Amino acid sequence: MTILMAFLVGGALCLVGQLIMDLTPYDITPGHVLVGYVTLGAVASAIGLYQPLVNLGGAGATIPLSGFGHTLAQGVMDSVKVNGLLGAFGGGVEATSVGIAAAVVFGYMMAVMFNPQG
């Protein structure tokens, strides 16, 4: 049941992003959707609406970009509790540092292995 819920929640998030790009009359690019998802994930996390989605969908809610925004917001809020206002500057980066480092390392490995032509 956990896998099914992760699939449904993650699929619904992706479906909404695709529908936004396909059905809006404006020239909304994938970049717009990516930034919107990170921002909406952070805002929804800050007001307490994203954690119930994570509890329901598990990895289906934490893997998409809205989950990255959620992790950023949670990192900032946790760090502010411990370090005060200065925690707002480093908490998000500290909470997401593993994901950022993995993206850089794996991106570099793919570039070395497949020799992209730019």
Domain boundaries, the chain: 2-114
Q: What are the backbone dihedrals phi and psi of residue 96, each rounded to the nearest 5 degrees, phi first?
A: -105, 5
CA dihedral 75, 81, 84, 90 (to 10 degrees): -10
Under a CB-based contact definition with an 8 Å cutoff, are residues 51 and 73 in contact?
A: no
Average the pLDDT over 21-32 and give the result: 89
> What CA–CA distance (Å, rounded) separates 78 from 59?
21
pTM above 0.85, yes or no: no
Two structure tokens written together for 110: 């793919």
Per-residue pLDDT of 42-66, as tens digits, reads: 999 999 999 999 999 999 999 889 9
End-to-end alpha-carbon separation of the chain, Å? 44
Confidence of residue 118 (pLDDT cuts 50, 70, 90): low
CA–CA gap between residue 71 and residue 42 (Å, rounded): 8
Phi-psi region of 68 (alpha: psi -120 to 50; beta: other; left: phi over 0): alpha
R_g of the chain, CA atoms, integer Å: 16
Quickly state the pLDDT bin for 108 (edges 50, 70, 90).
very high
